[in-house]
Amino acid sequence: MVKLFNTAAKAATNTKATQYKSTVRLSLLAIALTGLIGCTVGPDYQAPTKLSQELNMPQLAPAAAAHDNQQLTSWWQRFADAELNRLIDTALSNNQTLAAAQANVDRAYAVFADSDDNNLPKGIPSLGYSATATPAEVSATGERVTSRQFQTGVGLSWDLDLFGKIKRASEAALADAQGAEFAWRDAQLTLVAQVAQSFGDYRGAALRLQVASQNLANLQQTTRLISARRDAGMASDLELARVKAQTFAVETTLPDFQLAKRRAELTLAALLGSSVEALALDSSALQLPELPTPHAVAKVNEQLQQRPDVAIAERRLAASTAYIGVAKADLYPSLSVSGFLGFLASPDLAVGSTQKAWSVAPTLSWQGADWSSVQARIKAANANEQAALATFRQTVLSALSEMQLSLDSYNLSRRQQLIQQQQLAATEQAVSLSQARFNAGNADFLELLDAQRELLAARDQQARLTQQNFSRLVDIYRSFGGAVLEG
């Protein structure tokens, strides 16, 4: 009896020792896995610094932290034109290109959400039933046997991110999603600029059409006057022919302005996703939008990060850097664990503690046998990063050039307009003096006609430059990402 007791006690002690050793081993394994999971291969992304130093400009921060979209969605309101505001608001609501860009943003963030939770254990509830019939010929009892079994529980799986492959993939997916969001903002900026440009084209064409129509009416009146003077022997056929030629010359410009107006109208309808009739444009309004008060232009370099295309290029660079870590993680083993936790029972047994079932199946895999392919993928990832860096550098340089050109173009256009205003005033004075000389008999009609022709051209030039100035001002807003003018 004593011997039996000692044997049972020894067995219990061995069992406890075995359980203790197992617990220690599991603890050490868990600690080791925790250390490995914290290891992330591949380079950590940092915003480019060398380019900023070369261009003597402020450091470019990651686009995800630096971009401000507030100015992008309000800059046109500074023109204080109710009709322009209405058209842009409608375009932002109805334009299908913008809707497609928004859908791409939603898709990209859904991909990121799916990628970001891959490092968490996953459980799939399951409920199963199986029935197996054993023929009598092969049955141990010599009778046909049918066995049935119910299974209920949760299938578990967990990919342990030992070397940061899942983390890097999540970083890349987030950068791609942010890039898609900036692409949507770029579509917004482009759409708003197109609507504003087309609106300016419409008003500009209407203004030039009005100027040409007024000039034509004046010339037609002059033609009738010269015709009457010729019939009375007070004017020559040459004078009548010259004034008719000038009348026809102005009349031939009308279809061009009408076509430009119609083209702008149809373009606006397409941008707004509506019919021309639904635009309800005010055809009597001829004034092009202007800034009510002067505004200072911010520094080009400081506004560079407001451009969505620069932000897109920077996010693509960040994604390509993260993909290097994804490729390098294949140099090391990967560990995944699958298992089951639940109950197994036959139809005539109630589910209880005696029917508990579980399984654990760790799997360690390594792509060492395909080493050359792994190295090739790493090389491709590094090449993609270099290409993304080159694209980013070129995007920045092109953006700086475009921004500076938009400023120079507007400044030169404003200077041109100021000079033209002086020309118009001088031409009007010349016409007035020629008219007085003609009425006093000190000049012939051809001199007056030449002065009037120059006046007609000056008025049309004034209308053209007014439209040009608005167009180039919109170019400034577009090239600066909608955030260039400071109050």
DSSP state of 370: G
Q: What is the pLDDT of residues 110-136, one digit of tens each?
A: 988 888 777 777 777 877 777 776 675
CB 271 within 8 A of CB 194: yes
Looking at the DSSP assignment, which residues form a beta bridge with residue 336?
Answer: 159, 363
Contacts of range 220-227, beta carbons closer than 8 Å, 24 or more positions apart: 220/247, 222/247, 222/449, 222/452, 223/247, 226/445
Using the CB atoms, write b or e for 221-252: b if 16+ within 10 Å: ebbeebeeeeeeeebeeebbebbbebbeebee
Asked whether the CA dihedral 55, 57, 58, 61 is positive or negative, the reply is negative
Tokens 């009037």 belong to residue = 452
- Is 203:285 a contact under the CB 8 Å cutoff? yes
The set of residues, in sequence order, having a beta carbon less than 8 Å from that of 25 and lying 6+ positions away, is none
> Residue 241: what residue type?
A
> What is the rounded CA–CA span in Å between residue 55 and residue 310?
15
Query: Domain 42-120+162-331+370-486 class?
Result: mainly alpha
Q: Which pLDDT band holds residue 30 (cuts at 50, 70, 90)?
A: very low
| CA-based nearest residue to 119, from 30, 38, 53 | 38
Prediction pTM value = 0.78
**Higher-confidence position of 177 and 63:** 177
> At which residue do the structure tokens 């895999």 appear?
365
Tokens 């920045």 belong to 396
pLDDT tens column, 294-349 = 565 656 666 787 888 998 999 999 999 999 999 998 888 888 888 777 766 665 55
* Residue 435, both tokens: 């008219």
Q: What is the pLDDT confidence band of residue 205, given thresholds at 50, 70 and 90?
A: very high
The pLDDT mean for the chain works out to 80
The predicted pLDDT at position 197 comes to 94
Q: What is the pLDDT of residues 151-183, one digit of tens each?
A: 777 777 777 878 888 899 999 999 999 999 999
Residue ranges of domains in the chain: 42-120+162-331+370-486
Give the tens place of pLDDT for each residue, 130-145: 777 667 555 566 666 6
Q: With contact defined as beta carbons under 8 Å apart, do 291 and 79 qualify? A: yes
